[in-house]
A and B are shown apart, each in its own frame.
Chain A
């Protein structure tokens, strides 16, 4: 039972490049979400999904895209990377309301 698996662990991009952060969970959780962590700001919600085929925007969605074609996978796409997207990104999943989030180990992204 791997839990929530995020890849890659580290990534450096140039401004304007695109990339996909991968997230997979093997706990059959319906709810999945992406957060970014910046110093002094805690974790902020980017996008979330309550099940396959259903996604919605969080607090800071601009510049990011998501899709959820299966229960297991929830990739995050950066369409055209900007230095403001330099951050640590976390994927998380849970069974639903009242349940804690299970986090992946994070991806440190640097955009130059």
Chain B
């Protein structure tokens, strides 16, 4: 099936720093999604991207839909302690618009 590769696997940063993470696929995706999962909870949608090249912001978060449609990036600016969690990319592949695939996540730790 479809596979998404997320990197880095984990990040340890200082409060106030900016963060970048990305997600790549060997096949084309029609939609890219970025979720955050807190301990003991389900993932919560942060940003959805629907068009190649699209750049969308949600507060301090900015995500981009790669022009090749095979990758996406998430940036967090001026990190704060509550940004701690696991960030997942997910997407709907071109071949099956109704079935999403998730990456294995980037674990973010923010040191105060």
The answer to whether A and B assemble together is: no
